[in-house]
Structure 1
Amino acid sequence: MSKFLEASDLAILTGRKVKSKQIEVLRKMGIAFFVNACGKPVVAIAAVEGPKRSASVPIWTPPR
C-alpha cells in the first residue's frame, strides 16, 4: 500500500486533472503537499485521513 494518494485519488479530491489547478485547490483546502521533480503535487494519505491512533493509546478527555 502506498503512503501517498494516487493520481486518480488526487483528481477526485481536487476535482481537477491539471497539476497546476490541483496545487491551487490543495492550497485553498489547506492540505499539506509537496511538489515533486515533475511538477506534480504529492499528498501523503495521512494529510487527508489524519494520524492513525493505536488501540492501546487512550484518547484524552478533559476532567470534569
Structure 2
Amino acid sequence: MSTPIFLTNDEISHLTARKNKGAQIDALRRMGLPFFVNATGHPVVTRAAIEGGFKARQEAANVWTPQVLKTA
C-alpha cells in the first residue's frame, strides 16, 4: 500500500498540537509550512512539505546556470 500524498487530520493535529482548524492554520503559518485550505476550511498539508521534497524541488528550480548556457 502506498503512502497518502496528504497528511491526515490526526497527523496535522499532532504536528500543530491543535485540534481547532483555525488554530491549526495559524500554527502552520507560524511554522512556515506550505498548506492549502479545503472547502470545509481545514488545512491540507502535503507529505512532501514535511519530508523535504517541497524544499528540494524549490532549490532545484533555483539552481544557478551560467550565462553562456542561458543564451545558447
Normalised to the residue count of structure 2, the TM-score between the two structures is 0.69
Matching residue of 1:43 = 45
Q: Does 1:23 align with 2:25?
A: yes
Matching residue of 2:14 = 12
Size of the alignment, in residue pairs?
A: 53
- 1:12 maps to a residue whose letter is H
Residue aligned with 2:53, SS: coil
- 1:15 maps to a residue whose letter is A
- 1:8 maps to a residue whose letter is D
For 1:51 and 1:42, locate their aligned partners in 2 and report how far apart those are by CA, in whole Å.
16
Any unmatched runs of 5+ in structure 1? 54-64
Residue 51 of structure 1 and its aligned partner are, at CA, apart by 1.5
* Rg larger in structure: 2
- 1:42 maps to a residue whose letter is V
* Identity score, percent: 49
What is the Cα-based RMSD across aligned positions, in Å? 1.6
**Which is richer in helix?**
2
Greater than 6 Å deviation, 4+ residue runs: none
